[in-house]
Each structure stands twice: as structure tokens, then as C-alpha cells.
Amino acid sequence: MPTATQVLLEEHKSIRAVVDPAIAAGEDISRRGPAAIALHHVSLSALADVLTGDLSRHSAKEDEIYFPAIERALGSSQGPTAVMRAEHRQIHASGEGFRQLLAELPAEEAASTPEAAHALADRLRELGDLIDAHFEKEEVILFPMADSVLPPEENSALGDRLKNYRG
């Protein structure tokens, strides 16, 4: 039976597998401009899908199941879980901005402007920075803390709930 931390770490890994290529695409778009956008359509579309699918579900699992268990163990809803929830909102807002920019790109590569490419690259950089910083805080601070305050049987039960969450 996986612990909550194990389930969430595995999700981080699968989310990063989509986010990282899109961030690299943003760096290429930043360097080469509009001509690079079409080359990265698959990774950019995959990121848009992950933002509304796996990442959204991952955040909901943490907000609805994992964080409340940590808060009960700590006796407070302030502190690290409050920060994580705020970061979820920032990530989702940045992700929505990315999705809007992507949807507004013209269908024809030649019609994209340098300004559109620059805005897309900037949003990808921002989104990547937010996700990286958030995941690092969870992996380095929150998850180890949760493992230390949650009884092992509760941690395993949480792992099952997280794994079976359908949202």
C-alpha cells in the first residue's frame, strides 16, 4: 500500500514529464520566435491538457484530502498548507493565462507575431518557475513533515484515497 507521499511524488514525476518539454519549448520559442511555435505544438498542447487534467486533479487531491489530514495532525490550517493552497491558485491562474495565449495563436505559423511568441515564452517561463518552486517545497519540506506527523496507517489510508480519487 503506497503512502500519500509516494502517490503524490509519482504524480509529480508524471506531471514533470509533460511540463519540462513544454518549458524547453518556451526557451526555444524565446530564442527563435514565431517560427519555433509550430515545432512545439505537441508539447504545448500536452501542457494545456495536463493543466486542466492531471495537474488540476493533483491540486484538488492535495487541497481536499492531503492538506486537511496534515492540518488535523498539526492542529492548524495556517502555515505550510496555506502557502501551498495559495501557490495552487497562482499556478492555475498562470496556467489559464498560458492556455488563453495558446488558444489565441493564429492557425498559420506565419501569422504569429514576435510579440505573441515573446508573451508565450514569458508565460511558459513563469509557469515552469511556479511549478518547480511549488513541487520543490512539497518534496523538501511538506512531504517529509507530513510523513513525520501522520501515523503510518493513516498515511497509507491517505495514499489509497489519493490513488483512487476521481474528482
The structural domains of the chain, with segments of one domain joined by +, span 4-164
Query: Looking at the domain covering 4-164, what would its CATH class be?
Result: mainly alpha
- Ordered DSSP codes for 38-74: GGGHHHHHHHHHHHHTHHHHHHHHIIIIIHHHHHHHH
Tell me, what DSSP letter sits at residue 35? G
* Residue at 34: amino acid letter: P
What local confidence, expressed as pLDDT, does residue 111 receive? 61
Per-residue CA distances from 115 to 32, 35, 100, 121, 143 (Å): 12, 12, 15, 10, 40
Report the chain's terminal Cα–Cα distance, integer Å. 21
pLDDT of residue 167: 77
Q: Using one digit for the tens of pLDDT, what is the confidence trace for 82-122?
A: 999 999 999 999 999 999 999 998 766 556 899 999 999 99
Kindly report, residue by residue over 19-41, the tens digit of the pLDDT.
999 999 999 999 999 989 989 99
DSSP letter (8 states) at residue 140: I
